Amino acid sequence: MKTLKFGIVLFFATSFLHAQGCSDAGICSIGKAFQEETKTFKNSFEINSILGQGDGNVSIFTQTLSYTRKFTDKFSLGSRVTYNLANGDFGTRGQFGDAYLIGNYQFKETNNKQWSVLLGWKFPFTTANAKINNISLPMDYQASLGTFDLFLGTNLNYKAWDFNLAIQIPVFNNNKNSYFDELSVSDDFPTTNLFERKSDALFRTIYTLKTANNKFLFKPNVLFIYHLGEDTFENQFSNRETIKGSDGLTINGNLIGIYNINSKNSIELSVATPFVVRDIRPDGLTRSFVLGLNYRVLF
Amino acid sequence: MKKLIFILSILVLFSCEEEGILTKNVEQVPVDEELAVLKYSGTFETTSGISGEGKTKIFLEGNQYKLILEDYSIENGPDLKVYLSKSNSPDDFVNLGNLNPSATYLIPSSVNMTEYPFVLIHCQQYNHLFAIAQLVQN
């Protein structure tokens, strides 16, 4: 009961922050699926509240619920639902964003090395065309990219190091965004009418430091995300146009601190910021600073 | 399991879809009846299954063409747009923005009006045409 109370208090405390998730399309948080769960418990449930500050004076609050079930020692299946609330010069808009389903298979450990592979799918709850008062909003205000995405990834764990490699492929585009810069009072956002987004590739290196009693863990990590092509939109004259500079590299630095309250419960604080960004980020993934608070219970 | 249901209920309660108040919008520039000259007009014909009626007028005010809707009562739909179109189907068009019967739509200066003899009301999200107006030169 104590734990439950703590969880609820934490949830309320974080709910009133105006927060948001990692500055990516979902790919940077799938790395969690690689992390080894405890051997004792088969289920993990997490609540995550994230605050981010994006371009155009948009602050974004993301709330996620995650459930992971370990079916065997090697195979686990994780699910996650996100809710986004964006607040900026246009006003406030909140919606459920995406659902994720991610399977993770860990191979046998040999010589301190353990490989695992990941296969996942993202389902959008929206078509990325949320409006306020019938006024179309830029992608920064949208809870989802509006794409059905496939995730493929692999991880190598070697002693205290983890190396993630993953790709996020938009398989089916259902983005119906209708924001036109030309028709808007704001100059902060590019046109994203009927936006089509390209794939991302990710490489991440994580180093895990543990205190002697295993109560505290610190995970500094660097995240390289390469957007594999230039995104496109349909311009005002019904022609598809490429967004120059929307491809390229983003490098994020991320520090995660975990406090294990006991064998079942833990809280995690995550701070991230990009060091290198693409010339233009029409997808609205423009967070310059991200702060996340996560509560996890194992059972 | 009780814990899960309880926490989930709280999340649902606090995470309902929210649409706040619009705090930034383009200021409408109405047609100046003294300066503007009526150049084109048309009457909407709705497509199958769509009811209602309406008219459209295009004025030239200085060097700026402006489009308005009049007596507009065509039924509403999701994500309706106003298109200035080269034909009576949404293939080659100029997207003037979201449907708002009281709005004044500014037509981009690069548009050659003689090439666009139709105004369409089109649902962009589901690609469904609602109404067509053929323009007549005044």
3-state secondary structure A102-121: EEEEECCCECCEEEEEEEEE
Interface touch B95/A129, C-beta < 8 Å: no
Backbone angles phi, psi at B11, to 5 degrees: -60, -45
Interface touch A238/B3, C-beta < 8 Å: no
* Residue A92 in contact with partner chain B when CB distance is under 8 A: yes
Q: Specify the pLDDT at position A32.
A: 62
Buried b (16+ CB within 10 A) or exposed e, A155-183: bebeeeebebebbbebeebbbbbbbbbeb
The three-state secondary structure class of A30 is helix
For residue B29, pLDDT over 50 is answered with yes
Give B63-89 pLDDT, tens digit per residue.
Answer: 999 999 999 999 999 999 999 999 999
Tokens of B10: 């709280």
Per-residue pLDDT of chain A (299 residues; tens, 9 = 90+): 554 454 443 333 333 332 223 445 556 666 565 565 566 789 999 999 999 988 888 999 999 999 999 999 899 999 999 999 999 999 999 999 999 999 999 999 999 999 999 999 999 999 999 999 999 999 999 999 999 999 999 999 999 999 999 999 999 999 999 999 999 988 999 999 999 999 999 999 999 999 999 899 999 999 999 999 999 999 999 999 999 999 999 999 999 999 999 989 999 999 999 999 999 999 988 888 899 999 999 99
The minimum CA-CA distance between A94 and chain B, rounded to whole Å, is 5
Q: Specify the pLDDT at position B123.
A: 97
Provide Rg for chain A, Cα atoms. Answer: 19
Residues within 8 A of B (CB atoms), A 253-292 only: none
* Residue A187 in contact with partner chain B when CB distance is under 8 A: no
Q: Specify the pLDDT at position B138.
A: 87
> How many C-beta atoms surround the C-beta of residue A298 within 10 A?
19
H-helix segments, chain A? 2-15
Chain A residues close to B95, C-beta within 8 Å: 180, 193, 234, 236-238
Buried b (16+ CB within 10 A) or exposed e, B52-66: eebebbbbbbeeebb
Interface touch B94/A238, C-beta < 8 Å: yes
Q: Specify the pLDDT at position A208.
A: 94
For residue B118, pLDDT over 70 is answered with yes
CB A222 within 8 A of CB A207: no
Q: Domain map of chain B by residue range?
A: 31-137
Buried b (16+ CB within 10 A) or exposed e, A40-68: eeeebbbbbbbbbbbbbebbbbbbbbbeb
Residues within 8 A of A (CB atoms), B 100-119 only: 100, 108
Interface touch B25/A194, C-beta < 8 Å: no
Please give the torsion angle defined by the CA atoms of residues A130, A132, A135 and A138, in that order, rounded to the nearest 10 degrees.
-50
Higher pLDDT, A114 or B22: A114
Report in angstroms the alpha-carbon separations of B19 from A94, B8, B23: 6, 22, 12
* Residue B49 in contact with partner chain A when CB distance is under 8 A: no
Report in angstroms the alpha-carbon separations of A41 from A38, A68, A263, A265, B129: 6, 11, 10, 11, 55
Q: Specify the pLDDT at position A6.
A: 41
Residues paired with B128 in a beta bridge: B123
ipTM comes to 0.86
In one-letter notation, the amino acid at residue B12 is: V
Q: Which of A66, A134, A181, A235 to mutate to test the interface with B (most CBs of B within 10 A)?
A: A134
Interface touch B24/A11, C-beta < 8 Å: no
Question: Domain holding A223: CATH number?
Answer: 2.40.160.160
The three-state secondary structure class of B57 is strand
* Residue A221 in contact with partner chain B when CB distance is under 8 A: no
For residue B102, pLDDT over 50 is answered with yes
DSSP output for A61-90: EEEEEEEEEE-SSSEEEEEEEEEEEEEETT
Q: Specify the pLDDT at position A31.
A: 56
> How many C-beta atoms surround the C-beta of residue A256 within 10 A?
19
Round to whole Å and give the CA distance between B43 and B45: 7
Q: Which helix (H) or strand (E) covers residue B10, if one does?
A: helix B2-14
Query: How far from chain centre, in Å, is Cα A43?
Result: 21
Number of domains making up chain A:
1
Tokens of B43: 């009457």
Nearest Cα to A226, choosing from A20, A22, A27, A21? A27
Domain limits for position A62: 2-298
Interface touch A89/B23, C-beta < 8 Å: yes
Give the nearest chain A residue to B81 (CA atoms): A178
Give B40-71 pLDDT, tens digit per residue.
Answer: 999 999 999 999 999 999 999 999 999 999 99
Q: Specify the pLDDT at position A21.
A: 30
Round to whole Å and give the CA distance between B20 and A141: 12
Nearest by CB to B24, from A65, A93, A186: name it. Answer: A186
Residues within 8 A of A (CB atoms), B 64-103 only: 79, 81, 90-100
